[in-house]
Structure 1
Amino acid sequence: MSDTRSDTVVTGRAGIEPDADVIVVGAGPAGATVAYHLAQSGLDVLVCEKTTFPREKVCGDGLTPRAVKQLIAMGVDTTTEGWVRNHGLRIIGGGVRLELPWPELGEYPNFGLVRTRYDFDQILVERAQQAGARLREQTNVQQPIIGDRTNRVIGVRARGADGEPVDLHAPLVVAADGNSSRLSVALGIRKREDRPMGVAVRTYFTSPRHTDDYLESWLELWDRSGDRDVLLPGYGWVFGVGDGTSNVGLGILNSTSSFQSVDYRQLLRRWTASMPEEWGFGEDNQVGPVRGSALPMGFNRVPHYSRGLLLVGDAGGMVNPFNGEGIAYAMEAGHRAAEVIAQALRRPTVQSRERTLLSYPRILQETYGGYYTLGRYFVRLIGNPEFMKYATKYGLPQPMLMRFTLKLLANLTEPHGGDAMDRVINGMSRLAPAA
């Protein structure tokens, strides 16, 4: 246990013994990953989760090679039952059906995975517990505790399973509490309106396509249930889950003119009704309700560190604007946050600890800032229906262009060297302003 934690907390409110070195609020992919790596570094970590495991979570359930790399780093065995390996991305649009294998890179594995979120998060949390982290389920964190003298976060106030309030103290708190992030809002860290936001809805269907070994993305959503073909806003996906069902969903971005007025659940029903009957995407084969969630993109909440609180995952708006992927970036940020925290808590003075903690938002900006800026430009472009029609008509038939697009959208390049495509994408990301 760190010998600096009690000293740090006492400076905020005299006489209070800390409950952990670090409190992590939220046990999704971001929270579980940061907890795992903190525990691996020898710190005492307490994870507060408002629900119990296993639990339902709205997601496409698809994992790109970036996410697989993080699973490997956590020692998760993905060869067991329930993990479905995929070889790449199938893109459908403009009358074209194109299969693009994941690129062969030294930095990332050449395969993706599908695993339902019903137990995915639980698997990650259990890895954190095996590393030494402690988990408190049914602990609903209400607000941060601010030190009287330091004006820093020194813990959290929560309600336990019995509804009774409980105060938990630690020198550092990690906000992995999702898009709404009570902790961030309490510190005045609010969402930026100039960042993209998406909405995703999905459901499951019993389908013969459940063993499909490609993630499938539809760039055009056509409603062919009436007398005429209607192009619907957004993009769709079909991911085989391997358990007899397919995860079928769609996303729409706030750059689309109809973002505010769309009935997303009805939109999904209209789209799936137009699918071939043999795929099984009809109401009789639907498993569970249609569920939706927000996609906070491109660092829509900053700063990612303030006064003893670090933001990871959806709390910090870390979803990739290019493709709506959130799990990989939540886990990567969790890993980086853990490295910074472990270094900070072993610094000898308050000032040196703070300097180290302030490196966390800088690291995130250097890693993703320029790339996310490119993503914001991309979001504005695809919100234009005329551009999308042109892009799908003339872009999809070009295999080399689409291989470049896959690398760009999935952020899969060699960081140093690589081929010409890698160098172009990395150069664009470096030159784009990381604002």
Structure 2
Amino acid sequence: MSVDRIHDVVVVGAGPGGSSAAAFLAREGLDVLVIDRSEFPRDKVCGDGLTPQAVYWLDQLGCADEVMAQTEACIRDCDLFINGQHLLTGGFPVGTAYPDFAVLLDRKRFDDTLLRNAIAKGAKFEGGRILRELQVGRDAVELSCQTREGTRAFKGRIVIGADGVSSTVSRAIGNTLKTGAMALSLRAYYRDVECEGAQIKVYFDRDYFPGYGWLFVDDKGFANVGLGYAVDRNFSMPGKLAEDFRRFLERELGTMLRHATRCGPPSGGSAAFFKPNAILADRIMLVGDAANHADPLNGGGIHKAMESAFFAAETAVAALAAGDCSARGLRAYERRWGRHVGFDWQTAELFLSIAKNPHLRDFCLFTLTQIGRLTDADRQFQEFCSGVFSGAISQSICLSPRALYHAFPKDPRVWQAMFAAEGGSIIGPMRIARGAAQSLGLAGVEMVRDPLANLDWGIEVATKAVRLVQRGVAETPGLTQPAGIHQTSLQRQGRIAAPA
């Protein structure tokens, strides 16, 4: 196979990360080719929720208006359930760098919109190209792809791997896939769901913790419903995902789905939440799920993919201008990602490492319940917690005693309300203390029954905690800020607020 044309950048994968990278690069005047194994539009397993951060990046890409025109759901708050009981309704924080709302749009239309945006900016696209092999040469990377017509080859001075959790590009630079913490999920679409307006509902339950179920429904009753687990080599899935998904639908959503119609069979998906050995090599960078960049705390991957795409595109432009596309020349990508996102990602990874131990499920859910009761009675604390969980507020801020002091409720009535839920101002504190002790005691007994796995888990948590503390000594947690970009045009034009 001979290839005469060498593109500046070949992007492998046309999901949010790949199409965003292509758009950022093409608007700088580079010759960009995007290849994907699928023809577009195509479906993709996902919750379909676009966080405030994703809305921000859509604006930076110049396609926020097109996405907003397609959505039937603009949501400012979320309902949280624990063990079948409604705990609170909370909203996204105000006053951050991001809007205070999320939107819903299925990935088939969303990903197609991002790809068309990249093409409009000058990128080229070829679908039905399955990457089989890549070879790094002196002047370019050659990619060998399988097509319906046979084998095709492409060349790029730089390759950006945005080909998801099973990334061929990631394997090519020496990474071993799916060896750490993973999320496994099932998702189905329903129409005619009985729900008053667009809503986001999240369900935590001991039967499928660590993990959660969700229902994202738009104004027309069209819903994305799913259930996901967090697993790794020591702690496998406690049950069968398909059976648990069926029970979740019957137990939690039976009333809302009683007259609904499922749109096709459930689909499965996965995401990885561990740091790969490398996210770059000579002439190659990884973004999004190919780099395991999804948020370990909430599982969100769309905005992280778009964010990493910005860093990678910026690095590619500089490397091509300098004539140095070696790993050394691309190292700025890793540095910028670590500086802007690394501390938060490490913090979220530590939280997941603790919570993924199934023996701690009762203690974790007990703690979430008490925090939820506090947030339900104190708006400031609620915005702090929802901001940390969603990533709109820096997750590493949880490591700052000063920030925690300012965030925790000061009004005695808030604490009295929490104690009242447990029996009163005298009995309540004792019941809370007893509940915490009992759940921890039960966890200890269960851990003793499986000492090797729990010893390995303890060493892992301790190691990550030490690394995080070492990093925290040199860094001050604060509000998450976008990657060096200033106020969005939506904010400047007064369009950042959700429609009433």
Do the two structures share a fold, i.e. TM-score over 0.5? yes
Structure with more helix by fraction: 2
Q: What SS class does the counterpart of residue 54 from structure 1 fall into?
A: coil
**TM-score, structure 1 normalization:** 0.84
Q: The residue matched to 1:251 in structure 2 has which SS?
A: strand
The structure with the largest alpha-carbon Rg is 2
Which residue pairs with 2:305 in the alignment? 330
User: Are the structure 2 counterparts of residues 350 and 246 from structure 1 closer, same or farther at C-alpha, using a change threshold of 3 Å?
Assistant: closer
Distance 2:289 2:238 in 1: 24
Residue identity in the other structure for 1:385: R
Preserved contact between residue 205 and residue 281 of structure 1 (Cα < 8 Å):
no
Q: Which moved more, 1:74-83 or 1:57-66?
A: 74-83
Q: 1:44 to 1:243 in 2, by over 3 A?
A: farther
Whether 2:118 is the aligned partner of 1:118: answer: no
Structure 1 runs not aligned, ≥5 long: 1-12, 222-230
Distance 1:48 1:276, change over 3 A: closer
* 1:202 corresponding residue in structure 2: 187
Q: Deviations over 1:298-352 (max 9, x none)?
A: 4x323211011100011100110000000000011011111111111111x438x
Distance apart, 1:114 and its partner CA:
0.5
Q: Does 1:23 align with 2:13?
A: no
User: What does 1:184-223 align with in structure 2 at a 5 Å threshold?
Assistant: 184-191=170-177, 193=179, 195-209=180-194, 212-220=197-205
Q: Residue type matched to 1:112 in 2?
A: A
Letter in 2 for 1:101: G
Q: Are residues 281 and 45 of structure 1, via their aligned partners in 2, closer, same or farther at CA, if it must alter by over 3 Å?
A: farther
How far apart are the structure 2 equivalents of 1:117 and 1:314? 15
Q: 2:104 & 2:229 partners in 1: Cα distance?
A: 22
Other-structure match for 2:241:
264
- Matched-pair contact (CA < 8 Å) for 2:71–2:103: no
Alignment pair present for 1:408 and 2:394? no
Match of 1:252 in 2: 229
Match of 1:136 among 106, 110, 126: 126
* Aligned residue in 2 for 1:358: 331
1:157 and 2:144 correspond: yes
> Which residue in the other structure is 1:227 paired with?
none
Q: Aligned partners of 1:241, 1:289: CA distance in 2, in Å?
A: 20
Secondary structure at the aligned position of 2:373 is classed as: coil
User: Hey, what does 2:345 align to over in structure 1?
Assistant: 372
Q: Deviations over 1:49-80 (max 9, x none)?
A: 11111111100001110111011111111331
- What is the SS of the residue equivalent to 1:318? coil
1:361-407 Cα offsets, whole Å, 9 max, x none, are: 11112222221221122113323212223213322111144432212
Kindly tell me: are residues 257 and 142 of structure 1, through their superposed partners in 2, closer, same or farther at Cα, counting changes over 3 Å?
closer
Task: Report the Cα distance in structure 2 between the residues aligned to 1:370 and 1:31, rounded to whole angstroms.
Answer: 24
**Does the Cα contact within 8 Å between 2:91 and 2:386 map onto a contact in 1?**
no
TM-superposition CA deviations, 1:173-219 (whole Å, max 9, x none): 011111111122122122474x4211121111224346643422112
RMSD: 3.1
Residue 375 (structure 2) pairs with residue 386 (structure 1): no
SS state of the match for residue 69, structure 2? coil
Unaligned runs of 5+ in 2: 409-467, 476-500
For residue 216 of structure 2, what is the aligned residue in structure 1?
A: 239
Q: Residues 214 and 411 (structure 1 numbering): CA distance in 2 closer, same or farther, change over 3 Å?
A: same
The alpha-carbon distance between structure 1 residues 138 and 429, as it changes in their structure 2 partners (threshold 3 A), is: farther
Distance of 1:153 and 1:433 partners within structure 2: 39
Q: 2:35: which partner in 1? A: 48
Instruction: Go from structure 1 to structure 2 and tell me whether the alpha carbon gap of 1:175 and 1:81 turns closer, same or farther (over 3 Å shift).
Output: closer
Q: Deviations over 1:148-170 (max 9, x none)?
A: xx4x86121112232x1111111
Query: What letter is aligned with 2:227?
Result: L
User: Structure 2 CA distance, aligned partners of 1:414 and 1:322?
Assistant: 12
Kindly state the Cα deviation for residue 246 of structure 1 after the two structures are TM-superposed. Answer: 1.0
Instruction: Tell me, in whole angstroms, the C-alpha distance in 1 between the residues paired with 2:247 and 2:82.
Output: 17
The change in CA–CA distance for 1:307 and 1:257 in structure 2 (over 3 A counts) is: closer
Which stretch shifts more, 271-280 or 208-217?
Answer: 208-217
- Does the alignment pair 1:431 with 2:472? yes
8 Å contact 1:143–1:157 — kept in the other structure? Answer: yes
Q: Is contact 2:47–2:187 with CA below 8 Å preserved after alignment?
A: yes
User: Conserved in 1, the CA contact under 8 Å of 2:199 and 2:216?
Assistant: yes
CA distance in 2, matches of 1:28, 1:308: 21
Report percent identity of matched pairs: 26
Report whether the alignment pairs 1:309 with 2:284. yes
Q: CA deviation at 1:243?
A: 4.6
Q: Matched residue of 1:360: which SS?
A: helix
Q: Using the TM superposition, give the Cα deviation of residue 122 of structure 1 relative to its aligned residue in structure 2, in angstroms.
A: 0.5
Partners in 2 of 1:245 and 1:25 — Cα distance? 32
Counterpart secondary structure, 2:244: helix
Please name the residue that 1:84 is paired with: 73
Deviations along 1:90-114, one digit per CA (max 9) or x if unpaired, are: 2112534311111113411111111
Distance in 2 between the 1:402 and 1:124 partners? 33
Distance 2:26 2:266 in 1: 37
In structure 2, give the amino acid aligned to 1:370.
F
Q: Deviations over 1:245-272 (max 9, x none)?
A: 2111111101697634532122111111
Q: Which amino acid is 1:350 matched to?
A: D
CA distance, structure 1, for counterparts of residue 16 and residue 334 of structure 2: 19
Q: Secondary structure at the match of 2:303?
A: helix
Aligned residues: 401
Deviation at 1:275, TM superposition (A): 3.1
Residues 198, 168 of structure 1: alpha-carbon distance in 2 compared, 3 angstrom cutoff: same
124, 136, 140: which one aligns with 1:146:
136
Question: Which residue identity is paired with 2:263?
Answer: V
Contact 2:384 2:407 in 1 (8 A): no
Question: Is 2:293 aligned against 1:318?
Answer: yes
